[in-house]
Amino acid sequence: MLTNTLNPIIFHAGFITVRWYGLFLTIGIILAVIIYQKLFKAKNYSIDLVYDLSIWLVIGGLIGARLGHIIFYNLDYFLKNPLEIIMINHGGLASHGMTIGIILTLVLYQKIKKIDIRKYFDLLIIPIPLLATFIRIGNFFNSEIVGKVTTVPWGVYFPKNDNGQMVLRHASQLYESLTALVIFGIIYFVYKKYKNLPQYFITNLFLLLYFSTRFILEFFKEKFNLFDFPLSTGQLLSIPFILWAVYWFVFSRGTRHISYNK
């Protein structure tokens, strides 16, 4: 058993506050850009395109993630505290919103830049679960998105979340962090191992694995219901991604092939 007494704030410097969540988010973004560099260099794609796309994806992904959190999880709070909307270093990013934000950003990028983004699409998805790994660690440092009460020996006390009470809970943030890391490993292995994968194979593999595990892990988290429904909001939001990926693998995956590896 572990007691989470971690301070979410690293240090103050005047009016600047540096938080662990923001640090882990930054680490995840930097690692994603490094991976993009390696993937694009191996394919002889423009490295300048990596930096341009990275800026777009960071902005679009964060906007989507923040809006997803605001709309689906805490709308009343942000309507009363609008300045908190821009405080992403405090936490509050939704993976469903981030995924939608990334996809829409790539579509918008293609229209504005007049670049066929389709051949880059799968490559750009590969490090996303690694980014999710670090975001969930940040959630753990914030003592947020806590799990249900449990008696398992690896349970964690979150006194900040439970008003100082010692209530043993599942460390659902770390469960999600670990599964996201495993998903990154699987996706990267598939990309490196197999040639001539259908276009969007990696993208849909990510959607299937990430949101299926997200659906399952929601059973270990304190349920948040936007609607009066047996499933949590996170589970309801995961279902469309899962269904789309299943549909693609069953009906569409052989329509077009591209060679990832030489």
Give the annotated binding-site residues: 136
Distance CA 133, CA 123 (A): 18
Token look-up 């590896």 returns 261
Task: Give the number of other Cβ atoms within 10 Å of residue 123's Cβ.
Answer: 21
CA distance 235 to 219: 9
Distance CA 203, CA 14 (A): 43
Tell me the C-alpha distance between 70 and 81, whole Å.
11
């996303």: which residue's tokens? 128
Question: Partners of 149 in the beta sheet?
Answer: 169
Compute the distance between CA of residue 224 and CA of residue 176 in angstroms, rounded to an integer.
Answer: 16
Nearest to 89 by CA among 138, 125, 131: 138
Q: What is d(CA 207, CA 244) in angstroms, rounded to the nearest whole number?
A: 8
Query: How many residues are present in the chain?
Result: 262
C-alpha gyration radius of the chain = 19
Strands annotated E in the chain: 2-3, 9-13, 16-19, 156-157, 168-169
